[in-house]
Amino acid sequence: MTESPTSAGAIAAAVETANKSVAPSKQQPKRILGVMPNFRAVSAGAMPPPPTPKQAFVLATKNSFDYSSFVFVGITSLLAETSDAHPALGEGVAGFGRYYWRGFVDKTDGNYLVIFALPSVLHEDERYYAKGEGPFLKRGVYAATRILITPDYHGKNTFNASEVFGRAMAQGISTTYYPKADRTVGALAVRFGWAMGRDALTNVFREYWPDIATHVLHRHP
């Protein structure tokens, strides 16, 4: 059967073509340093078509179950256990396991809400569109504020409801599996703030990575 022009495969190919159409020094790689997943980034100047629900689902799945996700959750879980972030979860190997599965669920349900479910309903494009040029500080502010501003399916900037409400909903879901002491409004607000801040910093790093790779490391991004 011939694949339709609007299928997920065709759109993915269009994104790849759009990314490759820009200067090498401005291209966003699929992985940063060959490890960190960068599947949601669109190179500066590239204009791919809006994602289909199927493509958004695949993107959320890749971000959730990539091998690096298991490593990242392991590191954050170890740090959380070391700092005794949730005393009720205990310590040692058993405690680490309790931290780990909760951290993995946090990451996974957040991804599916922010990247797939809400964008498909609200028609928002949750990919990061790199700016790639302009004053250094202005680019940083642009990147960080993408957690609050995102293009819709028509390319017009709109309030990033998928990110804000998706992260908030993920915190609401977490009340079903975190200890009672961690279900307070204050605790939920802190975790929501950390999640939003992490996404903002990730966007900033994505924005500057081609410059770092090209001018500091002297390599292709």
CA pair distance 192, 188, nearest whole angstrom: 6
* Tally: H helices and E strands in the chain: 8, 6
Is 164 in contact with 148 (CB distance < 8 Å)? Answer: yes
* Residue 31 host element (H or E): strand 31-32
Is 124 in contact with 152 (CB distance < 8 Å)? Answer: yes
Looking at the DSSP bridge assignments, the partners of residue 151 are 157
Each residue of 122-137: pLDDT tens digit? 999 999 999 999 999 9
CA pair distance 182, 172, nearest whole angstrom: 11
Please list the alpha-helical segments (H only) found in 83-160.
Answer: 92-111, 118-122, 136-144
CA pair distance 130, 145, nearest whole angstrom: 12
The two tokens of residue 184 are 């307070």
Neighbours of 101 (CB within 10 A): 13
| pLDDT < 50 positions in the chain | 1-8
Buried b (16+ CB within 10 A) or exposed e, 40-56: bbbbbbbebebbbeebb
Each residue of 110-123: pLDDT tens digit? 999 999 999 999 99
The two tokens of residue 20 are 């490759």
Looking at the DSSP bridge assignments, the partners of residue 149 are 159
Structural domain boundaries in the chain: 8-216
Q: What pLDDT, on the 0 to 100 scale, is given for residue 121?
A: 97
Q: What pLDDT, on the 0 to 100 scale, is given for residue 136?
A: 95
Give me the torsion for CA of 57, 63, 67, 68, rounded to 10°. 180
CA pair distance 34, 221, nearest whole angstrom: 10
